[in-house]
Amino acid sequence: MTSNSMTVTDPAHFDNPFPVYKTLREQAPVYFEPTMGFHIVTGYQNVKKLLTHSGVSSNRQAMLQELEGKLKPGSIETYMENAKVSMIQLDPPEHTRLRALASSFFHKGTVQEWVPVMEANFHRLIKNEKQKGRLNLGNVARHYPADVICDIFGMPHYCRESYIKNAGKVAKLFGAPIDNELQTVASEANQASIDNARLIAGFIEERVDKPCNDLLGHMAKSYGDGELTMRETTTLCGLLLTAGHITTTELLCNGVYQLLSHPEQWVWLQKNPERVPDAIEEIMRFDTSVPFTIRVIKEKISLDGGDLEPGDVVAVGLSAANHDPEFCERPDEFDITRGRTRHLAFAAGPHVCLGALMAREELRVALDHLLKSCPDLRFDPDNLPQRRCDSLMFRGFKTFHLQY
Ligand code: HEM
């Protein structure tokens, strides 16, 4: 086996990465990827150990400093300052404090209150698409989670488009970009961080003076009470939008793609709509939108198949773990009737996805509606979906057109 055959970033593997994951799991479960300069870990038990081990860090400052060295001076200054207070890149105890605060906005009761917002947005977006006489599901999926979170934030409509566009630029740098234009990606992410933080800071100040009940209002209260600094507040808003947007957009497309690629399962789901939540779990297991996450090793760790040393950067293979035959039977078969599994699509440990409940509800609302309103949903043979190949961390589609 050549190192090339293991290159997970090779666009040739993006349509179907599962054979590469299998090769890695079987032949090099702790594999050093020479072109990217990090390790890749792929087996279920190893991945779970990394996600839950106290000797493993989510802090990417050292990586960012290395990146900074390759860029024009000052290119990612603000981005780096924000990263220092971004929950997803912190370890306990700093992480614990921010996580506890953010969790208070995302419990089961609040997510249920948001369901009508999800329904209204998804139904509107599908109706608008259909009025154009087509179904660009990529377009619907891109707007849907962003519109939901902006409604929940209480963000006025005039600035949403630029805020969402900027959040996408920030996410592009976070998502381990596979891109020759690194300087452009980095500079754009930095400017986008500045612009979005300025915008949110204005809304927070307004709500400190005039309290209100939307999500920005709750954050303004935490800021006003001294529980969050302004940088922490604006960074948390940015994180909620980016973490809850691209992930759900891509997962909806991945899910519909798998269901339509297995049309008998689409038909079965129409007859058994109460099984939509099970279908969502299988979609997440089989084709998650976050196939990898990044960790940095703090203390020596022995895994099955190799050791990791302090300072090692690791691409933790969530999707590869979900396809491990030691974790579930027939892992490379998509089967929405298989019953729930303990997949790692939302990770595990202290950083387990904060928005998992919300994501599941958003996907349920979307699939319920598609099954009812577009029973004959199918691929457009002249315009087949095209996978994006620009990120290690996000898996989805560049274009996703359907017929209905
Ligand atoms: C299908 C959609 C989603 C997927 C696949 C997903 C996946 C993940 C994963 C794998 C992580 C762990 C990252 C790491 O440890 O490095 C994570 C963290 C996170 N997710 Fe999600 N996510 C989804 C939707 C959402 C939504 C809708 C929200 C909220 C609006 C959200 C908010 C977050 C936050 C705030 C974190 C950071 C938690 C922490 O650091 O403690 N996610 N997500």
- Quote the CATH superfamily of domain 3-403: Cytochrome P450 (1.10.630.10)
Give residue 125's pLDDT: 97
Give residue 13's pLDDT: 80
Over 80: is that where the pLDDT of 176 sits? no
> Which has more pLDDT, 23 or 181?
23
- Distance in Å, CA 113 to ligand 1 centroid: 20
* Among 38, 47, 40, 35, CA closest to 10: 35
- Distance in Å, CA 349 to ligand 1 centroid: 12
The band of 2, judged by pLDDT with boundaries at 50, 70 and 90, is very low
For residues 330-351, give the mean pLDDT: 96
For residues 1-13, give the mean pLDDT: 62
**Residues lining ligand 1, judged by CB closer than 6 Å?**
58, 87-88, 99, 149, 239-240, 243-244, 247-248, 251, 288-290, 293, 318, 345-347, 351, 353-355, 358-359
**Ligand 1 pocket test: which of 247, 249, 316, 318 has the largest number of ligand atoms within 8 Å of its C-beta?**
247
Give residue 239's pLDDT: 92
CB 366 within 8 A of CB 283: no
The band of 6, judged by pLDDT with boundaries at 50, 70 and 90, is low
Sequence spans of domains, the chain: 3-403
Over 60: is that where the pLDDT of 4 sits? no
Handedness of CA 137, 139, 141, 147 (dihedral sign): negative
CB 169 within 8 A of CB 189: yes
- Distance in Å, CA 381 to ligand 1 centroid: 34
**Ligand 1 pocket test: which of 53, 252, 354 has the largest number of ligand atoms within 8 Å of its C-beta?**
354
For residues 146-153, give the mean pLDDT: 95
**CA of 293, closest atom in ligand 1:** 16
Over 60: is that where the pLDDT of 60 sits? yes
**CA of 358, closest atom in ligand 1:** 27
- Distance in Å, CA 239 to ligand 1 centroid: 9
The band of 182, judged by pLDDT with boundaries at 50, 70 and 90, is confident
Over 70: is that where the pLDDT of 377 sits? yes
Ligand 1, atom 15, residue with closest C-alpha: 351
Please give the Cα distance from 49 to 126 (Å, whole number). Answer: 41
Give residue 391's pLDDT: 83
pLDDT-wise least confident of 34-38, 44-48, 95-99, 283-287: 34-38
CB 143 within 8 A of CB 52: no
Out of 1-15, 39-53, 169-183, give the one with best mean pLDDT: 39-53
Instruction: Please state whether beta strands 306-308 and 301-303 pair in parallel, antiparallel, or not at all (unpaired).
Output: antiparallel
The band of 37, judged by pLDDT with boundaries at 50, 70 and 90, is confident
Over 70: is that where the pLDDT of 1 sits? no
The band of 351, judged by pLDDT with boundaries at 50, 70 and 90, is very high
Sequence letter at residue 292: F
**CA of 349, closest atom in ligand 1:** 15
**CA of 145, closest atom in ligand 1:** 27
**CA of 58, closest atom in ligand 1:** 16
- Distance in Å, CA 365 to ligand 1 centroid: 19
Share of the chain above pLDDT 90, in %: 81
Residues pairing with 387 in the sheet: 397
Over 90: is that where the pLDDT of 343 sits? yes
Please give the Cα distance from 87 to 110 (Å, whole number). Answer: 21
Give residue 179's pLDDT: 64
Phi, psi of 279 (to 5 degrees): -60, -40
For residues 33-53, give the mean pLDDT: 94
- Distance from chain centroid for Cα 168: 12
For residues 193-216, give the mean pLDDT: 94
The band of 175, judged by pLDDT with boundaries at 50, 70 and 90, is confident
- H helix or E strand, kind and range, residue 39: strand 38-41
Over 50: is that where the pLDDT of 264 sits? yes
Ligand 1, atom 31, residue with closest C-alpha: 355
